[in-house]
Amino acid sequence: MSSKKGFFYTITALHPEVTGSCLLVTVHYPDGNTMMFIVDCGLFQEKPYTQLNNQVLPFTSSKIQFALITHNHADHNGRLPILMKEGFKGKIYTTATTKRHMQFSLLDDYKIMLMNAKEKKQNPWYSETDIRNALECTECCNLEETVYVNKNVKVTFLDNGHLLGSASIFVQISCYGEEDLNILFTGDYKPTSIWKEVRKIPEWIRELPKTVVTESTYGYMESSEVECHFEKDIPKILGEGKSITCFVFAQGRAQEVLYLLKKMQERGEISTKIPIYLDGNLAQINTKMYQNSEEIDEEKRDFLPENFTYVNKENRQNVISDSRQKILLTTSGMADHGPACIYVPEFVARKDMVFYFTGYVSKDSFADKIKNPQEGKIKIKGITYEVNVDVYSTSEFSSHAKADEIISMLREAGNVQLILINHGQKESQQIFAQKIIDASFVKKVEILSEHTALVGKFGLIKIMGSKLYCIKMPKEENATTKNEGRIPVRRKSFKNYLVCRHR
């Protein structure tokens, strides 16, 4: 019971930057009753936060009425099994596509968690039963269909191009005799997708007064600054007679790269005689699901290039020992998990091989060590290898909107009383907040990270320090070398770059 009177809610970001995404909303009713729900429940995938994964969630799970999941990335749904283990009894709402992919992804995360726990001599953080329980209580919502999750709360999942199945979520909270409190959670957001036309926010939602909780991963950057060079690089590298090992995420990136390779074949830019391979169990499952997905435009579902083969433990050795030119796609995107761990030691010393990272290479990651080897060498499991491969990377596949694209969506959202910024590196959040203020279309902008906002029918009541979550930031670092996708360093106190990482 709350001592405060009135109808309002508090919202807290339980993640400081971009990883371990989880928002806690507590609705306060005039009779003193409260109701809590969460939006996303993600794993921490970046140092120095990973040690937080096996800690208890910073709320009483049994008191959470329901959970909304925006999309199937581990840093948004990877701690659902922990939520179950801790006694959550409500329902989880997401799209059918997210649920379909999530059943495989959560099992994949489980295997990685078991491996990590074994290495660190820890007990597993959760069991397969917790995964099953999470899936059993997951309800599927159709896009733009309003669902009552309880007598006072309606949710509407909205289209989003971030990932197949991803959604922004509109929540309407009502109370007898009071005006509704409306919140639009953008989730990780992108206005476009190569797979389909992304639908705009419906008119009826635009008209309603609302608070928008927006991501800000690339809030520091304009879409005009993105450099696209992948489709030029691939024919050029192949023209030099080299093979390519392309590191991809299991959902989204693997399928997008296959689609682009097929287009390059069709345009005659790369020869269909060069075989294309895909290794990684989860990537293969997802690829088959994409081929059958009704969410994808029909003519695009046939996206496998010619001369394409799946690789598994039966034919992997042949792929490695065959010295002919090839394009090999493998998980993980950062080369630190999955079959990439087999290919890197095999290929890293070869002069006729190129390593191509299709995701952002974060500082001090394994990928960064390959990209910037010390004295031309890298140590893997105690063995030193010469790094002779050329290393390429690109951030052009990023599935996040840039500042101008989010601002244009925020304008379209209409009747916005308050914008709360979260899910971005600290400096990105600040730069993005300033960009929104400069665009002057909304009355109030606040940075949510590490704060709790108290919001009523006229928008923000106050913003205060969060009692729920207090994480010590990593040690301050001086300027790092310029890298694609990295926020330009503007002051010395700028912290380690953390980015939303995908499976």
| Site residues (CB under 5 A) for Zn ion, limited to 171-210 | 188
Contact 309, 299 (CB under 8 A): no
- Find the shortest distance in angstroms from Cβ 31 to Zn ion: 36
| Site residues (CB under 5 A) for Zn ion, limited to 116-155 | none
The answer to whether residue 427 forms part of the interface with Zn ion (CB under 5 A) is no
- Token pair listed for 460: 């923000």
Task: Go through the chain and tell me how many residues it has.
Answer: 503
Nearer to Zn ion, 98 or 182 (CB): 98
Quote the Cα angle for 496-453-429, to 5°. 30
Among the listed residues 15, 28, 73, 503, the single contact to Zn ion using CB under 5 A: 73
Nearer to Zn ion, 130 or 188 (CB): 188
Of the ranges 69-77, 125-133, 335-343, 460-468, which one interacts with Zn ion (CB under 5 A)?
Answer: 69-77
Of the ranges 78-86, 289-297, 463-471, 494-502, which one interacts with Zn ion (CB under 5 A)?
Answer: 494-502
In the three-class reduction of DSSP (H, G, I as helix; E, B as strand; rest coil), residue 146 is classed as: strand
Cα–Cα dist 493/475, whole Å: 9
- Find the shortest distance in angstroms from Cβ 187 to Zn ion: 8
Nearer to Zn ion, 282 or 500 (CB): 500
- Find the shortest distance in angstroms from Cβ 32 to Zn ion: 35
The answer to whether residue 500 forms part of the interface with Zn ion (CB under 5 A) is yes
- Token pair listed for 348: 């890293």
Nearest C-alpha neighbor of 310 from the set 331, 341, 333: 331
Nearer to Zn ion, 113 or 167 (CB): 167
Nearest C-alpha neighbor of 377 from the set 340, 424, 345, 404: 345
Quote the Cα angle for 373-375-381, to 5°. 55
Of the ranges 59-67, 142-150, 373-381, 492-500, which one interacts with Zn ion (CB under 5 A)?
Answer: 492-500
Contact 225, 492 (CB under 8 A): no
Size of the site for Zn ion (CB under 5 A): 3
Of the ranges 66-74, 149-157, 204-212, 405-413, which one interacts with Zn ion (CB under 5 A)?
Answer: 66-74
- Find the shortest distance in angstroms from Cβ 415 to Zn ion: 26
- Token pair listed for 241: 């007679």
**Which residues sit opposite 39 in a β-bridge?**
23, 68
Nearer to Zn ion, 337 or 423 (CB): 423
Nearer to Zn ion, 64 or 499 (CB): 499
Nearer to Zn ion, 378 or 498 (CB): 498
Nearer to Zn ion, 188 or 427 (CB): 188
- Find the shortest distance in angstroms from Cβ 19 to Zn ion: 8
Of the ranges 67-75, 88-96, 118-126, 408-416, which one interacts with Zn ion (CB under 5 A)?
Answer: 67-75
Which uninterrupted H or E stretch holds 147?
Answer: strand 146-150
The answer to whether residue 256 forms part of the interface with Zn ion (CB under 5 A) is no
- Find the shortest distance in angstroms from Cβ 249 to Zn ion: 10
In the three-class reduction of DSSP (H, G, I as helix; E, B as strand; rest coil), residue 411 is classed as: helix
Nearer to Zn ion, 73 or 79 (CB): 73
Nearer to Zn ion, 73 or 99 (CB): 73
Residue least distant from Zn ion (Cβ): 500
Nearer to Zn ion, 186 or 466 (CB): 186
- Find the shortest distance in angstroms from Cβ 282 to Zn ion: 16
- Token pair listed for 168: 């922004």
- Token pair listed for 252: 């989204």
How do strand 181-185 and strand 210-214 relate by DSSP bridges? Answer: parallel
What counts of helices (H) and strands (E) characterise the chain? Answer: 13, 23
Q: Exposed, middle or buried, 105 (CB in 10 Å: 0-12/13-18/19+)? A: buried
Nearest C-alpha neighbor of 170 from the set 413, 455, 452, 421: 413
Of the ranges 70-78, 268-276, 364-372, 456-464, which one interacts with Zn ion (CB under 5 A)?
Answer: 70-78
Site of tokens 């968690």:
113
First-to-final CA distance of the chain: 40
- Find the shortest distance in angstroms from Cβ 471 to Zn ion: 17
Which uninterrupted H or E stretch holds 397?
Answer: none
Distance of CA 488 to the CA centre of its chain: 21
- Find the shortest distance in angstroms from Cβ 362 to Zn ion: 14
Interaction site with Zn ion (CB under 5 A): 73, 188, 500
